[in-house]
Amino acid sequence: MNVIVWDIDDVLNDLMRIWLETYWRPTHAECILSYDQVSENPPHRLLKVSLYEYLASLDNFRQLHYASMVPRPGVLDWFRRYGDRFRHMALTATPLFAAAISAAWVMNHFGRWIRSFHLVPSRRSGDMVPTYDRSKAEFLRWWDKSVILVEDSPKNADAAIRQGSQAILLPRPWNQGRFTETEALEHLANLA
C-alpha cells in the first residue's frame, strides 16, 4: 500500500483562513487583507507586522480555538471514499507546545485512517529541544520509505520531490497550485 504523508495545517484544515477571518481581522480593524490575497506564507509582511507578532497571534489562536476547527470538507470526503486504499501519517511543522493540540485534532477527525503523527518543531523563542530534522524533507529522508506528501507549501513539496518522494500540492492562495483541490485529490486517489 502507498503511504500518504499529510500536512495538517491548511491541508487537513483551514488554519490560515480561519485564523485570519475570525481571530486577526476582528482585532485589527486596519487589516483589509482577505484570505484570497494571502500570497505568501507566513503572511507577516502582508499584515505589516513582525514575524514574531504574527506567530504569537497564531500560537494564541492554536491554544484557544484550534480544537474547534473542522476539517476541510473535500479532504474529509476524500478520506471517506478512498482512505482505506492507502496507509496514512501526519507530518507537521508546528511549535512543540502545540503538538498535542494538533495530534488530538488529527486523531479526533482523521484517526480512522491516520495512525501516526510526526513533528518537525517550528522553532519559537526560548525553545530548548534537540534538532533531529530541520525540515519535512529531512524527516522523509530519515524515514526512508516511498511516500506521497500532500502539502500546501511549494518549498516543502519541492524538497520532498528532490529527495525522491512524490508530492501533491493542494492549491492555496500562497502557492499558485496548478490544479483545483478536487483535481489534486482525484490524482491522489488514482495513485492507489
Beta bridge partners of 119: 92
pLDDT in tens, 148-182: 999 999 999 999 999 889 999 999 999 988 899 99
pLDDT at 132: 81
For the range 22-26, what are the long-range contacts, defined as Cβ-Cβ under 8 Å and sequence gap of 24 or more?
Answer: 22/65, 23/57, 23/60, 23/61, 23/65, 24/57
Query: What is the per-residue pLDDT for 115?
Result: 92
Domain boundaries, the chain: 3-13+70-189, 15-68
Which pLDDT value is given to residue 14? 98
* Rounded Cα gap, residues 8 and 151, in angstroms: 8
Percent helix, percent strand, percent coil in the chain, to nearest 5: 50, 15, 40
Cell readout for 154 is 511549494
Span 92-148, pLDDT tens digits: 998 989 999 999 999 999 999 999 999 887 877 777 777 788 778 888 888 878 799
Q: What pLDDT is attached to residue 130? A: 76
What is the pLDDT, as a whole number, of residue 11?
98
Residue 144, pLDDT score = 75
Q: Is the peptide bond before 130 cis (omega within 30 degrees of 0)?
A: no
Q: Distance of CA 115 to CAs 18, 80, 88, 106, 137, Å?
A: 26, 15, 7, 9, 20
> What does the block give as the cell for 24?
486577526
Report the pLDDT value the prediction gives residue 65, as an integer from 0 to 100.
98
**pLDDT tens readout for residues 21-33:** 999 999 999 999 9
CATH C-level class of 3-13+70-189:
alpha beta
pLDDT score recorded for residue 192: 64
pLDDT tens, position by position, 44-88: 999 999 999 999 999 999 999 999 999 999 999 999 999 999 999
Sign of the alpha-carbon dihedral angle for 129, 144, 118, 162: positive
